[in-house]
Amino acid sequence: MVTLRRSLLAAILALAAFPTSAQERAITVASTTSTEQSGLFGHILPLFTEAAGIRVRVVALGTGQALDVGRRGDADVVFVHDRAAEERFVAEGFGGPRHPVMYNDFVLVGPAADPARIAGARDVAEALRRVASARAGFISRGDRSGTHAAELRLWREVGLDPVQGRGQWYREIGQSMGPALNAAAAQGAYVLADRGTWLSFRNRQDLRVLAEGDERLFNQYGVMVVSAARHPHVNAEGARRFVEWLVSPVGQAAIASYRINGEQLFFPNAPQPEPARPS
């Protein structure tokens, strides 16, 4: 009986022993659901880890939350897509500098029946105007994410305040991209989605891309190292190496090579440094 109890205890203690973060060379990246859920990180991070010997732990959140995680010092790197919010983050001294990394675009997705008749529109403003005037169901992320910020910017450009339709045709769900697409599929509603998440999304039912290609649908991603001055514990060296790799020709090529069904999801556009510039 005693031996049984002892070996049980030993087994349980063994269970409880987790590797601590300090023992491993690892960095934590606060990023967006679009980069994680599209599968991009699954594609490029092993390449970085192999090259640098640094493991990358991705916490996927909305852009707003990801920046907050960086502000609190709970991540070493922030990799998001809301330029205005990113520049605020840098200006407040929480990290930086901001490096543009890649872009893709947003698409306006809706039901095949297309009650607002926006199919084929290249002018996203016109498409949104039609959705609003038809009072057709529209799912908003409502979660301070980069996509949410982009959607609100588009409504402003149209000169419409969708909040007037709140609770009726304009539905803010406060969740990430996937749940927003699930909701749109279930309700036959329109939704603004980043192309990466859309391409990897499986539960489309009769959702289609109805409007795309407008330059206002451009979606730029940026990366920043969290300030070691603010948060001395951050893995500044690991973070710096990750950011440098992302914007390097090797990292950029890795991003370009990620495809779903032959379709490229992200387009690298980090400015390449001029050769041999002394610093």
Residues near another protein (CB under 8 A): 12, 15-16, 18, 20-22, 28, 33, 37, 41-42, 57-60, 71-74, 176-179, 181-182, 185, 197, 200-204, 231, 233
Q: For residue 213, is it left (φ>0), alpha (ψ between -120 and 50) or beta?
A: left
Please say which residue, 100 or 178, places its beta carbon nearer to another protein. Answer: 178
Please say which residue, 28 or 63, places its beta carbon nearer to another protein. Answer: 28
Please say which residue, 15 or 276, places its beta carbon nearer to another protein. Answer: 15
Q: How far is the CB of 53 from another protein (least distance, A)?
A: 16
Angle at 36 between CA 34 and CA 93, to 5 degrees: 80
Residue 112 DSSP label: T
3-state secondary structure of 170: strand
Q: How far is the CB of 184 from another protein (least distance, A)?
A: 11
Residue pair 1/29 in contact by the 8 Å Cβ criterion: no
Q: How far is the CB of 203 from another protein (least distance, A)?
A: 3
Please say which residue, 155 or 190, places its beta carbon nearer to another protein. Answer: 190
Record the tokens describing residue 32, joined without a space: 């967006």
Of the CA atoms within 13 Å of residue 226, those in its CB half-sphere come to 27
Q: How far is the CB of 271 from another protein (least distance, A)?
A: 30
The C-alpha atoms of residue 28 and residue 70 are separated, in whole angstroms, by: 10
Please say which residue, 12 or 276, places its beta carbon nearer to another protein. Answer: 12
Amino acid at position 66, single letter: A
Q: How far is the CB of 33 from another protein (least distance, A)?
A: 7
